[in-house]
Amino acid sequence: MPMAIKMAAPASLAIEKIFGSVFERTLPVTRPHCIACLRPQGACICEWVTPVANEAEVLILQHPLEVDHAKNSARLLHLSLSRSRMLVGEAFGERELHDSFKGPRYTVLLYPQTPQDESPALDAVQLKDPSRVRLVVLDGTWRKSRKMLHLSPLLRLLPRLSLDDAPVSNYLIRKAHEPGQLSTLEATCAALAQLEGEGSAEKYQPLLKAFDGFVAQQLAFVPK
């Protein structure tokens, strides 16, 4: 007949103390997150979301390492633009990109021209109507974006849109490796203004001003 074994109180407390401390060390402590910006509630950026009715559609391809990066600007951009989509990945297959490129739009990649560029020239006629243009934006450091481009052959075949006159960046929370490098938000706003033509730059100023507030918020978290 099975016998019930009664553990002595000191032994029971010792085991509870040992395993309890182990559980306390190994179980992750999760903080409540905002369901909109996906940031911890203490670092929510929703106050900086500034609705903008952009004409060209924007498709943001975000590198996985940027998703939880506190200094990343793409989420704020995505939440602010009326016509934007965001996909996360490092390598994008042809089927996935073809599905994302559906619709009668002229698709261009926001990326500077390079000597090894195998993309076709821009069609100036198709650029005249920005409402029929799809702007693909790579969100990541230059090193990450180059790798994304290398791993996604279809992206390399897209016509490339370069900025005619890059503005001075206010992205003070991440180091630029080359002069003229901008945050994803700043570069996209500049590209959209370029596509939409004269006078449209003013439309993006409220979002760029909100971006300055976002930068200031992130700087406040940096230990002094």
126 Cβ neighbours under 8 A, 6+ residues apart: 106, 132, 133
Judged against a pLDDT cut of 70, whether residue 54 lies above it is answered with yes
Q: Which amino acid is at 103?
A: G
What pLDDT is attached to residue 73?
93
Q: How many residues does the chain have?
A: 224
pTM, two decimal places: 0.81
**Structure tokens given for 41:** 């509630």
pLDDT of residue 177: 55
Structure tokens at 183: 């945050």
Tokens encoding 88: 């996360």
191 vs 166: CA distance, rounded Å: 9
> Residue 22 is encoded by which pair of tokens?
């182990």
Write the pLDDT tens digit of every residue in 12-36.
Answer: 444 444 444 444 445 455 778 899 9
Q: For residue 53, what is the enclosing H or E element?
A: none
Q: What are the tokens at 82?
A: 């009326």
Q: What is the DSSP string of 39-50?
A: SBGGG--GGG--
Phi, psi of 167 (to 5 degrees): -75, 170
Reading the block at residue 163, the tokens are: 């900025």
Q: What is the pLDDT of residues 101-130, one digit of tens each?
A: 988 999 999 999 877 777 899 999 999 999
